[in-house]
Chain A
Amino acid sequence: MCAKTLTIDGNEVSAADDATILDAATEAGIKIPTLCHLEGVYDIGACRLCLVEAVGIPKLLPACTTKVVEGMNVRTDTERIRKYRRINLELLFAERNHVCSVCVSNNHCELQTLAYNHGMDHVRYDYLFPKWAVDTTHPRYGMDHNRCILCTRCVRVCWHVEGAGTLNTAGRGARSQIIADLIQPWGEADSCTSCGKCVMACPTGALFQRGATVGEMEHDREKLEFIITAREKKQWIP
């Protein structure tokens, strides 16, 4: 195996023979935004946020799936690319309901962070916001399709890390959705091992641990009564 040298944003970098542009950039400390990329599972080139320009190649290249070529001259942050990235993010925010203030992932969401980083202070497109159901049939986890960006990171960890093959994609276009088994309520999907890897993989608040969402906190009044009874009557029974 021989290494390759290339230029990324004016910096000469070396990369392993089978490295992708994203690998090479990451190693050189150059940050390329991604959403569908997840370390540990294979790449699909779907979110199109990591598109970069390469001198002499008319098409934009997805950094996550394009292998480095000797002498390649890559530019990751041109005005044109920044414009496309911002439109891409705006499209995602207009496509489904991503109201951050009431989201379980608020302030630790990859989509939100990318929007901040790209100066997306408002969305110019009309919000389409179709009504999607929230699946809370699983005892430990919930799935909110309204927050889903269909990056399929959950599907890939479910199949290729856990090996359960519970999650999948169904439907097409804007009507695509993540499903459990054969479009069953998640809680009834026999193949699910409840490993929670999908929740760890999710870049937004689409997959979450139950008990953590807005409105889910329950006041345990009985506990209070128990303590008062114990203090006043010296009885340790409810």
Chain B
Amino acid sequence: MVLNDLIQIKERELASRKKYVLRCCMAAGCMSSNAQSLKDELEKAVAAAGLKDEVEVRGVGCLKLCCQGPLVQADPAEILYERVKPEDAAAIVAALKGGQAKVSQGDLNHPFFTRQMSIVLANSGIVDPERIDSYIAADGYLALRNALREMEPKEVTDTIVRSGLRGRGGAGFPTGLKWGTVAKSTGTKKYVICNADEGDPGAFMDRSVLESDPHAVLEGMALAAYAVGADQGYIYVRAEYPLAISRLQTAIKQAKQYGLLGSGVFESPFNLTIDLRLGAGAFVCGEETALMASVEGKRGTPRPRPPFPAEKGLWNCPTLINNVETFANVPAIVRNGAEWFAGIGTEKSKGTKVFALAGKIKNTGLIEVPMGTKLRDIVEDMGGGAPDGGTIKAVQTGGPSGGCIPAGSLDTPVDYESLSKLGSIMGSGGMIVMDQATDMVDVARFFMEFCMDESCGKCVPCRAGTAQMHHLLSKIVARKATAEDLAKLEELCDMVKHTSLCGLGQTAPNPVMSTLRFFRGEYTERLQPDTLGRPGTESAVPAGSRAT
């Protein structure tokens, strides 16, 4: 494969495009509401109408408005059909050449679509994730070709440094800095790992990216491997994502056939093998040191850092580990230049962020917005606010490691620093909207139960602390707790946060601390008098015994 081949594939693919295209969402959400039979019916209807030469029925990745699935978009008319049933197929095909199909249509001019800015999801809903030619037609693998043939590894790293890209897994570590560290680490063998062990409740960004555009992730990994000097990559994907796994397998196979993976990529001296490793159902394996232990075939428990993976990672070799969305940003940055990317977003948070909108909100689905977009714009304009006339009470970001942002702070811009100032985190992109009916103490208890169940059990604060915090939260929910119990809960939050071994334990108290910060009344109103008859108010507890 050389540049000419790439161009030829692109031209061939574009030349074979038909006049009309019906793009059928084939991501997990729509697939679970019968999108496969819908696509089959559409193909049959096209054949029956004798339009095979004019109409392409293309299976694509996520069309974003998941709550209205299955979705079909008709081009060039730009009509989005919602909640399409297989029996609607004939009507949709008939309407291609004018006329109206009696199928519910979405408003593509709604802020949900117009306010999005697609970098990571640029190909989502457009290319066929199961065909590499479709990706190449969208300038896929061009960045890799240009990097391998025209750039030094250091130039690739420098591009990422200048772009200001930060890790999309949640913590926001500068990606270029990480690449540079791995590149400078000495060792004959290096690894790149893609962390696709997405596990936050309500989060489905990485799954959608893998299902919609697996080649972008592969290309991003290949660019990273070239930059740091690795020749082996692993994608650690949770086994609960069968569709993502199958699309990755297809993508890897196709890339190998084209010589875009394997030895001598683009006829350069660069070699890269990428293999899949499937998670066995442990949330903690999303933590990088636990993930690497799991790849090595060991029990997936974290270990203390340092040494960091960049120095001693997989089998003690320097290892670069990034999240799916981080890698998916890379090809576009290399293709369009660091300055282009650095021009998007805020001063310290560059580019866009993909969020999975879920919970008590009208438009649930996948959105990608520039960093710095206000939370209010996301949940009220794009999300359409709470359904059934409800009012929004809080927005939860960052899953079990994050916090609840109250409605009063909705004007906060979405960037790493602003969210952490509010006691939450950017997180991997789960955004759960809560309305007035939501019980915040119960929310805190839910996340604590999650952390308790998912704690690996290695360190005492996380294993025993989360169990004890869950016990105290359950007592408060059941109105059996005293003011002293609340003080104990706060003291435990502080202790578990500061003494746990890994990120799971260190962030497990966040949902409690954040709901205590903004919704303390919901805790205190349930407190009961204690056995000494002291009333269930906080002043009953001597100040000295309270957590600081």
Contact = CB atoms under 8 A, between A and B. Distances in A.
B455 A51 contact: no
Contacts of B495: 83-84, 87-88
B457 A174 contact: yes
B468 A171 contact: no
Q: Which of B282, B453, B458 has the most CB of A within 10 A?
A: B458
Interface string A185-205: 000000000000000000000
B175 to A, nearest CB: 22
B255 interface: no
Contact of B468 (A59, A91, A149, A172): A91
Interface stretch (B83-91, B395-403, B497-505): B497-505
A53 to B, nearest CB: 10
A114 to B, nearest CB: 12
Contacts of B454: 172-173
B304 interface: yes
B548 to A, nearest CB: 9
A173 B453 contact: yes
A87 B468 CA distance: 11
B501 A45 contact: yes
Nearest to B492: A87
Interface stretch (A124-132, A139-147, A206-214, A215-223): A124-132
A48 B452 contact: no
Nearest to A150: B457
A175 interface: yes
A30 interface: no
B463 A84 contact: no
Contact of A173 (B303, B456, B468): B456
A79 B499 CA distance: 14
A154 interface: no
Contacts of B282: 172
B457 A175 contact: yes
A69 to B, nearest CB: 11
A87 B454 CA distance: 22
Nearest to A171: B457
A176 interface: yes
Contacts of A126: 468, 471
B460 A174 contact: no
B494 to A, nearest CB: 9
A125 B454 CA distance: 22
Interface string B437-472: 000000000000000111111111101111110010
Given A60-B498, A92-B464, A171-B457, A45 B303 contact: yes
A94 B457 contact: no
A176 B457 contact: yes
A167 B257 CA distance: 45
A128 B492 contact: no
Interface in B268-288: 282, 284
Nearest to A94: B468
A173 B466 contact: yes
A83 B545 CA distance: 11
Given A44-B303, A128-B468, A173 B452 contact: yes
Interface in A130-189: 149-150, 168-169, 171-176
B501 A48 contact: yes
A48 B495 CA distance: 11
Contact of B304 (A65, A91, A173): A65
B34 to A, nearest CB: 36
Contact of A46 (B299, B458, B492): B458
A129 B464 CA distance: 11
A22 interface: no
Contacts of A45: 303-304, 459, 501
Interface residues of A, number: 34
A46 B460 contact: yes
A23 interface: no
B491 interface: yes
B88 to A, nearest CB: 46
Interface string A67-87: 000000000000000011001
Contact of B457 (A60, A124, A172): A172
A126 B460 CA distance: 16
Nearest to A67: B306
Nearest to B487: A124
Contacts of B304: 44-45, 62, 65-66
A128 B468 CA distance: 8
Interface string B357-393: 0000000000000000000000000000000000000
B439 to A, nearest CB: 22
B468 A125 contact: yes
Nearest to A152: B458
A41 B387 CA distance: 58
Given A60-B498, A91-B468, A94-B468, A176 B461 contact: no
A49 B460 CA distance: 9
Contacts of A83: 495
A59 B466 CA distance: 20
Q: Which of A49, A66, A124, A173 has the most CB of B within 10 A?
A: A173
Contact of B460 (A60, A92, A168, A172): A92
B457 A88 contact: no
A134 to B, nearest CB: 20
A21 interface: no
Nearest to A151: B460
Contact of A48 (B284, B471, B491, B499): B499
Interface string A18-62: 000000000000000000000000001111110100000001101
A174 to B, nearest CB: 5
Contact of A124 (B460, B467, B488, B498): B488
Q: Which residue among A46, A51, A66, A150 has the maximum number of chain B CB atoms within 10 Å of its CB?
A: A46
Contact of A88 (B284, B453, B460): B460
Contacts of B452: 173-174
A88 B499 contact: yes
Contacts of B501: 45-46, 48, 62
A173 B452 CA distance: 6
Nearest to B300: A172
Contacts of A51: 499
Given A65-B304, A84-B495, A172-B284, A95 B456 contact: no
9 contacts: A44-B458, A49-B460, A87-B491, A91-B465, A95-B464, A95-B467, A150-B463, A172-B454, A173-B455
Given A48-B461, A94-B464, 17 more contacts: A48-B459, A60-B498, A62-B501, A66-B304, A88-B495, A125-B488, A128-B468, A149-B460, A150-B458, A172-B282, A172-B284, A172-B453, A172-B457, A173-B456, A173-B457, A174-B452, A174-B455
Interface of A: 44-49, 51, 59-60, 62, 65-66, 83-84, 87-88, 91-92, 94-95, 124-126, 128, 149-150, 168-169, 171-176
